[in-house]
Amino acid sequence: MKGSGTARFLGRIWFRALRREGPALPPGPCLILLNHPNGLLDPLAAAALLDRRAGWLAKATLWKIAPLRPFLSAFRAIPVTRPKDGGATRDSILQSFHKVHEVLAQGGSVAMFPEGVSHTAADLQPLKTGAARMALSCPMPLSVIPAGLVYGDRARFRHSVLLRLGEPVPFGDLAEHGLDHTTVAELTARIRAAILPLTLHGSDERHLALAQDVAWLLAEAPGTRVDLEALRARVRALVPHLASLPPEAFAELEARVHATQAWLRAKGLRPDQVGHPYPAAEIGRWLPGACFRLVFAAVLLPPSLLFWPPYRLAGWIAGRFTDEGRPDRHAEVAGRSAAAPPLDPSAGGAGRASLGMVGRPGASRGAAGRGARPAHPGAGGGRPSGHPRLPPASGSRRA
């Protein structure tokens, strides 16, 4: 089946790079469950990257916003009345379930955000039980597919996004128990455990924040063009290693990373620029484009101004009509760009300097930079890679 043409068109306008990783969707009806880090852009990014069209569960209050109705129709949105919005009744909830089951009965797929709220917190929000209840009450066999969304520099227009699909969540052993509380809670826990490693979320905020700082330090490109799969894998590999460090060693590494971030900001540098040799061949490839942008800046300015109003309008709508969480900056685990110790930046780059305590200083960027999952940093292997950092932290310079 083909994905949404409307979503792909809009996605190519909004994002510089769209990438999907993980297994293909299995044949037959699928219930696709995603994290929700970026408001109204999440269904756009996911729909643009899925290889089939899906119906999307959306809060019923969105239908009150007239400009959104054509998009809700294009995305085959299914309204859900939430108790927090008022007006939710047993009948309205059962009606939403019935519409979902109708789509699945026709062999279609439905996507939803089981957290029920868009947020920038470090950890996943507690999952609502609706997804588990829909799966357990579905009259036909279906696959429950976990998926994670990871963004680059969300503060910039034309940034990058990754959709990471996971293996189906097994629940055949639970179906025979119906919708009792224990069964629903168990399936909800399985769904959460399946989604978490596909994202940059985690419950250990301090270790997760430092893992993301180091991962961004090792990124081989700006936040708008970074390899998000390598970044995600690097973070996931780093978190358990950082958690195993003695408190004194962790505090020392954290201080070195933060000091290097300050050094990079003071110098106006991105981590990927430190220690880069800039060979003549690379400069030769870059120079024509740079000259083109300088000569035709006047021509490129009008399209930029054309895209700016919808960008700001979408941001305003997301802030006004969605449930964007606003935890403090420490709970925000959003790609803080730079990370490396204040060692000599010419000695192999900021990344090698900062990783003196988590990997071999001479480890190569190659495999991780191409998206391969690096060896565990504690094993002395390549540089870690990963990234749930949703919105970049204040003052970061990744782009």
Give the DSSP per-residue string, 79-138.
Answer: EE--GGGS---HHHHHHHHHHHHHHHHTT-EEEE-TT-S---BSSPPPPPSHHHHHHHH-
d(C-alpha 322, C-alpha 113), whole Å: 13
**Residue 46 pLDDT greater than 60, yes or no:** yes
**pLDDT, greater one: 84 or 78:** 78
Integer-rounded Cα Rg, in Å, for the chain is: 22
3-state secondary structure of 56: strand
Q: Which helix (H) or strand (E) holds 18?
A: strand 17-21
- Which residue(s) pair with 332 in the sheet? 121
* pLDDT per residue as tens digits for the range 126-159: 999 999 999 999 999 999 999 999 998 877 778 8
**pLDDT, greater one: 342 or 182:** 182
Mean pLDDT of 217-221: 86
Q: Any idea which architecture 5-198 has in CATH?
A: 3-Layer(aba) Sandwich (3.40)
What pLDDT was estimated at residue 285? 86
Mean pLDDT of 178-195: 95
Distances in whole angstroms, Cα of residue 175 to Cα of each of 133, 163, 167? 10, 28, 18
**Residue 105 pLDDT greater than 80, yes or no:** yes
List the beta strands (DSSP E) in 113-232: 143-151, 160-165
Listed in sequence order, the residues at least 6 apart from 267 whose beta carbon sits closer than 8 Å to its beta carbon are none
Region for residue 374 given its phi and psi (left: phi exceeds 0; alpha: psi -120 to 50; beta: otherwise): beta
Query: What's the distance, CA 369 to chain centroid?
Result: 18
Domain with CATH 3.40.1130.10 in the chain: 5-198
* pLDDT per residue as tens digits for the range 364-391: 333 333 333 333 333 333 333 333 343 3
Q: What is the pTM of this model?
A: 0.71
d(C-alpha 344, C-alpha 354), whole Å: 10
Q: Which helix (H) or strand (E) holds 31?
A: strand 30-34
